[in-house]
Every structure is written in C-alpha cells, then in structure tokens.
Chains A and B, each alone.
Chain A
Amino acid sequence: MTSPTTDSVEGAPAVPRRRSAVRARWLAVLRTPVGAGAGLLLALVLLLAVFAPLLWSDRAETFDTGSVLQGASADHWVGTDNLGRDLFYRVLVATRLSIGLALMATSIAVVIGLVLGTAPLLLGRRAGRLVTAGVNIAVAFPGLLLALFFAVVFGVGMTGAVLAIGFAGAPAFARLTHTLAAGIAERDFVAAARIAGVGRTRLLLRHVLPNIGEPLVVNATIGAGGALLAFAGLSFLGLGVQAPSYDWGRLLQDGLSGIYIHPEAALAPGVAIVVAGLAFNLFGEAVAKGIGLTATVGGGFGPAAGRSPDRVSAAPTDDGRPATDPGRAEGRPVLDVQDLSVSFPGPNGPVRPVRGVSFRIGRGEAVGVVGESGSGKSLTALAIARLVERPGVVDAGRLEFMGTDVLAGSDRSHRRLLGTAFAMVFQDPMTSFNPTRRIGRQLAEVAEQHQGMNRRQAFGRAVDRLRSVRVPAAERRAHQYPHEFSGGMRQRAMIGMGLMGEPSLIVADEPTTALDVTVQRQVLDLLESVRAADDVALLLISHDVAVVGQVCDRVLVMYAGRVVEDLPAAELRTGARHPYTRALVATVPDMHVDLDQPLPTIPGRPVDPASQPPGCAYAPRCPLASARCVEEDPALADDGAGRRVACWHAGEIGTDTDVPGAAPVALTSGERA
C-alpha cells in the first residue's frame, strides 16, 4: 500500500496539488477492504437515520393489541413489544434519534475540546498551563463517570444526556487537540512564522489547525462511535431518552426485562448499537491508518534507506549482472562476499536496494564503505551480519565468514560463531541499548549465552571488557542503565559488547555519526587500538569520506546499491578513477579547500532504488556520461593491482590531478528546478 504522494513523485512534471492529494488519500482509504466495508456500513447507517422515520414511522408506532409481546414471525421479524408495536421497524426508526443524539453530543465535545485544547496556544504561558492542568485532571476520570456526574447536574432526560455526554467527551478531545497542536507548535516552521511576524491567531488558523485537521476529524469520527455507545448506555440505565421517545438503548432496556420469553427484543437493538458503533469506529481507524502511512512518507530519506521495506517501492530490476571480482585480500579472508544482493517485495515485483556486491576482508584489515544515504551501505552491513529480517531476502553467490558459509543452514547453527567472532556496532548509541536493562547485564548476556559462563563470571567479564574500552569506573558503571551513559560512553560499551567474545571482524555502521567530533575521535581511536591489539578486521560504514580515509586501509564506494570503486584509502583524494568517487570527495569541504572557489556539487539526485535505470545508475549525474553509459551497466573490473572500478570512462580526465577542485565535477547549483 503506497500513498499517492511519496517522495518519488518529486520533481515529476505533473505533480498532484495538495488538495487533490488529500482527496486521493481518502479515496485510497475507501479502496482498502476494511475502509470500503466500514464506509459502506457508515453510509447505510446514515441513510437509515435520514430515511427510516419517513418511511416506517407509522408501522413502528401502530398499536396492535392482538399481537402483544410476540416472538419473531413472518409478520414481525423480531417480534412485538408490550403494546404490540413491530420491533423491527422500531429499531430502524430509532436510528435517527440514536445517531442524531450521538452526533450532537460529539459536536459539543469537539467544540469544547477545540476551545480548551487550543487555548494554551492563544493565552499566555501561565493561563495556558492552568487550562492544560485542568484538562489533565478531568481526563483522568473515565467518560462514563463524568457523564453520570453531568447527568445529575443537567437532569435526567434527552437534553441532559446530550449535554452530559458532550461535556464528558470534551476533556479527552481537548487533550488530543492540545497534544497535536503542541506537537505542531514545536516544529520549526511555526517558529519561523513567529519570527516572520505572524500573530498567534493567524498562527493557529494558518499553520496549526490545517496540520492537525485530519487526525481531529478521524478522532471525532471514532468519538461519535463512542458517544453512540455511551448514549445507549445512559438510555439503558434509564437516564437518557425517556418514553414515549425511543432510541436503541431505551429499546434494549425494555427488551431486557423479557429476555427469557423473547430474547430478540433485547438482541435486535443490541445488534444495531454494535453495528453502528463499529461503522464509526472502523471507518475512523481505516482513515487513521491511511493517514498514518503518509505521515511516515514525507519524512525524507533516512541514513539507512531500505532497512524497512516501506521505504522502497516499485519496479523490478534487471538480473544477470556479470559476476564481479571480489577484490583483493591476502591469505584466507575473514569475510568473503560474492554477488550479494538484498531484495524487498514491492508492489511491482521485488526491489533490490543492494545489487551484486562483492568483496573480501583479510585478517586485521580495515575496509571502509562510503556512499550517500540510500546507497545501500547500511543494508549491506546488515545482510553480512545476517540481520535482514523478512520480508527482506538476502542472496549471495558466496557469504563466508571465517571459512563458514553463513548463508546456508539455520540461524541456530551459526549462533555461536557469529555471537562470539562477529561484532556489530550500530549508529545510534542512544537507541541501541535496551533502556530497561543494566549495561553490565547486557554485555554479560553474550558470555552467558555463548561461552557457558554463569551470571557472576559473565558479569565479571563484562566489567573487564568495559575497562578494556576505557569506560572509567567500569565496575560502578556496569550497574548503571543506558540512560545514565553519555553517547560516547555508550558507543564504547557497544564496542565492549562486541569484545565479549573474541571477534575476528567488527562491523561498525556509522558508529560516530551521532557523536561530537572530539568524541568521534575517541571512538575511532578505540576501534583502531582494538584492531591493532588483536588483529581484528574492521568494516566501517560511513557517509563521511574523511572518517573512512583516516581509519581504513581500503575503501569501497557504493552508489545505488552497487560497489562502483574499490581503492586504497590513501588514494581517495588523488587516485580515484570513478567520477562519482572523485565528486564525492570533492564536494566535502575539508580544512584545505580553496576559499576563493565555489564548492563543487553533484547535480541531480540519487537514483530511486525502485526505478533503477538499465545503464550506469550514475550516468544522469555524470559529466563523462556517454550513450553507452545510459544503455549498459559497467561491471566492477579489476585493474590487476587490486583496485576495482565500475565505469566505462574510468580515470578519463586527470587521474593524476592532485587539486581536488579540478576534478571533473559540475560547478552548477545542481538541482535547479
């Protein structure tokens, strides 16, 4: 299920306008089975509410003393009441009152809720806080209790019940409005509007309300279902609609007393209540789901595009890429990857964000992987670690770790090997530890599980490992929770966790991206010293060319799911032969960049994994692109000296240039619309 407004339509010539996009989204909801069913049911209920009293009022109110309290028959489908009135028609006719009262109560709740919920934005800080506090206290009491309270105040009867349920629903709606509005008010565009001199009222009307409108409508719909049930409840208790008027709750109460003699009288209004309630509920939730989907889409490209299958969509890609040479690695490699690909099911066949990746890592070697977001570098790391979950599928000609084929066999059979010899360091140290468990225990777990240690031994080892990654006061800190650690310390602890076993390979996926430079240096130094001390191989994934260049021996450059160049790190700036590598290096300003020149930029945008072109994926952005580039995808070819490059024009202009600014990179503003 993709929404009609995804990032992929950006820049397309015929872009749908926003309003029609909203309509399209609601229509898309109606096209799902649940949405369609609920919509139909809701339409039916509303139609009944309008037309039933016009059509069947007479039959519902005709006394028939000849057939009092009868069971179901051909004449009376659900029997008759104590005055001989037909219950089937009474239930149908009661639709209008039941629905109408519920809608009135909902409107009261919505109006009061909107006023209370947006008041904190309009009033000053102090008055706003007071309103919020009041709402928070009121919302702690369940609606039914509030409804009973207000029913006493407003009096027993129809009007009293409408007011009671409306007032009782208001706090919850106020809280929702407040939460949503506060969420929007925190966004930078509201701050920007304030700086631009937009007043509070206009801020609310132009910026806040339009952005919370859809969830409010959805919740009002669900709320109407709730009001319907609450009303039935009050009427059932005798506190709502009074005879001779009747709604479903009233009919239910009348029927309940005779449930032994003829249960239909109680069940029919009961069914009506449930069906109508469900219609509102389901419709609201179906729409909520549709809206929720799109909310995740607008968020732009995260660093690990392709990790979740929803990020990628559409279009199958070509197969049968020439088997690429896996590159150099002395002796028996720690890791040997050949023709690795990862695919996710898409609406138009599988999408492959990683395609035909091959490389080897030797003992103690440090290999870097660089590329922009969406290039497939993080997904490559996850695939190697066997951490891609369904529905993602990992394929490879060969995926050997320490000479063991880890692609074959079950996860269970490789658990010990991967658990002790393969270490992973993830990007975000703030989220990669379990917040409810102590750091020491999270480390110790590894040794308990794979090395057969008991709790105490394992904890001792954990403290020892924390010490080895220079966590100060390791004994004490092992007893702390992750939230008591700073980002840099957590990343150390994460590395320490990898060292619980005896790793031959550490895969670090953007390990320093979330950290400050000074802390980044400490973490990189730590990785370096671990590598040096135990001859551990390192696969370092980063978007930062400088980081990779500083730490690694060899660099793999990825673009659109493929390795486009494999070269020694020392030659990144001087010896790159792929135009993308050169451009990537040149666009990043370093401490030596010429201040009198504009920065080089790469025109265009990265390719969408869902629609890979048949030729070289970089061709549309490449200054060297020729007709062949557009038609035929170049293979990753070895130059005999261990360097590999996938380009028809490899090294064509100035391979020997040592002025980075002079690399053949377009000096344009790039993505001019």
Chain B
Amino acid sequence: MTSTSAERGATAAHRGVAAALDGPWPRFAARRVGRLVVSLWVLVTASFLMIHLIPGDPVRSALGPTAPAALVSARRESLGLDDALVVQYLHFLSGLFTGDLGTSLTSQLPVSQVIAQRLPSTVQLAVLAFGVAFALAVPIGVGMGVLTRGGRARGRELAFSSSSVVLGAIPEFLLGVGLVYLFAVELGWFPVAGRSDASSYVLPVLALSLGPAAALARIMRVEMLSVLQTDYVRTARAKRLPAPRIYLRHALPNALTSTITLGGLLLSALVAGTVLVENVFAWPGLGSTIVASILGKDYPVVQGIVLVYGAGVLLVNLAVDVALALLDPRSAIRES
C-alpha cells in the first residue's frame, strides 16, 4: 500500500516505483532476470558454437592454404581446438568469468584488450544517437499527432508521412554517404571521416539516429492518434480540461508506453547499426573492427565482439522493459 505522503508532491517516477513495488514488481523482476539469464546463455553458447559451425578448419582458413602444417597445428593447439567440444565449452565459459576472451589470431593481442580499446567510441556513438533519436521523435510525433487528429491538416500529414517514410527507408550507411557528400565534401562543414573533435561526431550521430528518429516519430504519431480516440481521453474532454493538459497529462504517457514497446526493437537495431556507420566514417570502434576481423578471419575477435554487441542489445531490451514497467502500472502485470 502506498502512503498519502508518497502521493503528495510525487513525481511520475516516484509514483511508478511505488506502484511497481506494490506487489507484481518482485515477480516482474524475477521473470525479467530469468529471461535475461536465458538469453545471455543462448548468446554465449551461440558465439561459442560460431567458430565450430564454420565448415573446414578455421585456423587453416585464417592462415591461408600456404601456411605450414606445423604452424596450423600449433595454433590449433593454442586455441584448444583439439580438445573435446565440452572441454572447450567449459574453458570458454570459465574464460568469460575471468575476462579472458582469447587471443587475436592476427595481432596476438588479448581480445579483451582489443575490445576495451574500441568499446568507448562505439558506446559514445550509440548513446548520442539514442538521445538524438528520442529528442527528435517524441516532440515531432506528439505534435504531428495533435495537429493531424481526426483528419485535420491533411497537407501537413502528407508532408510528414512521406518525408518520414523516405527517411526511415534510407539505411544508415547510405544516409551516412549522403551526409558526407553534402556536409563534408560539398559544404566542408564537418570532417569526412575519423574521430577527433566534437564536430567529427555530428555526421555519424546523425547518420545513425535520423532513420530511427523518423520511424519512431511515425510510431509516436500513430500511437498519439489512437490514444486520442480512446474512451479515457473522451472522459478527459468530458471533464472540460484544457487541451494542453489532455494532450500532455492524459494522452502522452499512454502513447509513450506503446511507442517504447514498438520502438524497443528499433533502438536495439540502432546498436547494430553502428557497424555500418563506423565503416562509412572509418570510426575507430567495435563496428569497424568486427568487419575487419571477419574479412581477416580473426575468429576470436569476431566472437568477442559479437558477444559484446549481443550483450548490449540485451541491455537495451532490459532498459526498455524497466522503463515500461515504471511508466505503465499495468505492464509489470501484463508481462508474462
């Protein structure tokens, strides 16, 4: 039960937490953590198996057909590839817990060191793009929803939906190329590639965030429109509340929950999108490393980076679910 004092002056977050702790919350948490653990296990196992699913000998294919047999077998031994699969699996798992992800085949550096070097710049990129996508999508989507409700402002609706469809359909690497051409080559406002000062962040972040922002804004608008047609918004109108209050206090939180639900996948796709964008901008992050490693058949590095990306995606999904549970008191219950 919540107390009266909690009600007074409570912020939205407070209210959500209070409601969530009310009972279904522990159950929700248990179930959510359970799912996370299972997903993590699947991820770890899949990335372990990846190297074994490759037809032929991964070491031979990495070193090339001309490499001496002795070198190949020495490498195989150092990777433990000659052990039984179960032994290798257990070794892999224990390595994970100690932070040992193996050694790069090409650079001979520990994989964990490679990742530690490259991770920060990818995280920066993703987090910034995240923020930009939301900051653009929510106000635009809500505004367009209110403007175009009940078939109003058809012209603006058409302009909005066509531009957002086009923008949403351009993949991030193409958008990147377009942005480079326009703002770096033609106008020379920003650097073409690389990571240096703040201005070098602008184009990669835009390339990564504009597509998801357009798609999110579209979802936001549709959700807003459907929330504006609900019985409870009609109730709010029957109470003769002023329009801003109806839109911001009654419609927005509900529209936001379903937008986050639908947008969750979009946001985890954004994490993976860094791979392409980093390659367009020669961004020194995980994305350009994984592609180089795939092409160079440096499998331990690929394995490690796949793990990191997968974990990042699971983290985003978890964050989305928690945000939903806080925003909507029913979602923790609905969760099953």
Contacts and interface: CB of A to CB of B under 8 A. Distances in A.
Direct contact of A and B (CB under 8 A): yes
Interface of A: 133, 137, 140-145, 148-149, 151-153, 155-156, 225, 229, 232-233, 236-239, 252, 256, 259-260, 263, 266-267, 270, 273-274, 277-278, 281-282, 285, 308, 385, 387, 389-391, 411, 414-416, 418-419, 424, 426, 428, 431-438, 440, 442, 445-446, 449-450, 455-456, 459, 475-476, 479, 481, 483, 494, 497
Contact of A449 (B173, B242, B328): B242
B19 A481 contact: yes
B169 A274 contact: yes
B151 A483 contact: no
B243 to A, nearest CB: 9
Given A232-B171, A483-B329, A437 B177 contact: no
B313 A426 contact: no
A273 B172 CA distance: 12
Contacts of B8: 455-456
A28 to B, nearest CB: 19
Interface in B207-245: 229-242, 245
B279 interface: yes
B276 A236 contact: yes
Contacts of B50: 149, 152-153
Nearest to B249: A437
Contacts of A156: 294-295
B174 A273 contact: yes
Contacts of B180: 259
Contacts of A267: 177-178, 181
A229 B169 CA distance: 9
Interface stretch (B84-92, B96-104, B264-272): B264-272
Contacts of B280: 256
Nearest to A236: B173
Contact of B330 (A145, A385, A481): A481
Contacts of A149: 46-47, 50, 306
A426 B165 CA distance: 38
Contact of B169 (A278, A432, A436, A476): A278
Contact of B272 (A145, A256, A435): A145
A144 B269 contact: yes
Contacts of B302: 152
- Which of B1, B181, B280, B317 has the largest number of chain A CB atoms within 10 A? B181
Interface of B: 1-2, 4, 7-8, 15, 19, 38-39, 42-43, 46-47, 50, 53-55, 149-152, 165-166, 169-171, 173-174, 177-178, 180-181, 185, 192, 229-242, 245, 249-250, 253-254, 257, 265, 268-269, 271-273, 275-276, 279-280, 290-291, 294-295, 299, 302, 306, 309-310, 313-314, 317, 327-330, 333
Contacts of A411: 240
A284 to B, nearest CB: 11
Given A273-B174, A436-B257, A140 B317 contact: yes
B269 A142 contact: yes
A546 B253 CA distance: 40
A446 B239 contact: yes
A270 B279 CA distance: 16
Given A252-B177, A432-B234, A238 B276 contact: no
Contact of A148 (B178, B254, B294): B294
Contacts of B314: 140
Contacts of B313: 140-142, 145
B169 A152 contact: no
Contact of A436 (B178, B185, B253, B279): B253
Contacts of B249: 437
A418 B268 CA distance: 47
- Which of A133, A140, A259 has the largest number of chain B CB atoms within 10 A? A140
A140 B54 contact: no
Contact of A140 (B165, B245, B268, B295): B268
A256 to B, nearest CB: 6
Given A140-B39, A145-B272, A436-B253, A418 B54 contact: no
Given A141-B310, A152-B306, A387-B238, 20 more contacts: A143-B272, A144-B272, A148-B290, A153-B54, A155-B55, A232-B171, A239-B291, A256-B177, A259-B181, A260-B185, A277-B171, A278-B169, A426-B231, A433-B235, A435-B329, A449-B239, A479-B1, A481-B330, A494-B235, A497-B235
A270 B179 CA distance: 12
A483 B330 contact: yes
Contacts of B181: 259, 263, 266-267
Contacts of B170: 274, 277
Contacts of B271: 142, 145
Given A137-B39, A434-B235, A438-B15, A155 B54 contact: yes
Contacts of A256: 177, 280
Contacts of B151: 390-391
A445 B246 CA distance: 11
B275 to A, nearest CB: 6
Nearest to A427: B231
B279 A237 contact: yes
Contacts of B2: 479
Contact of A434 (B185, B236, B273): B236
Contact of A433 (B15, B149, B232, B241): B232
Contact of A497 (B149, B229, B239, B265): B239
A446 B250 CA distance: 13
Contacts of B295: 156, 238-239
B103 to A, nearest CB: 18
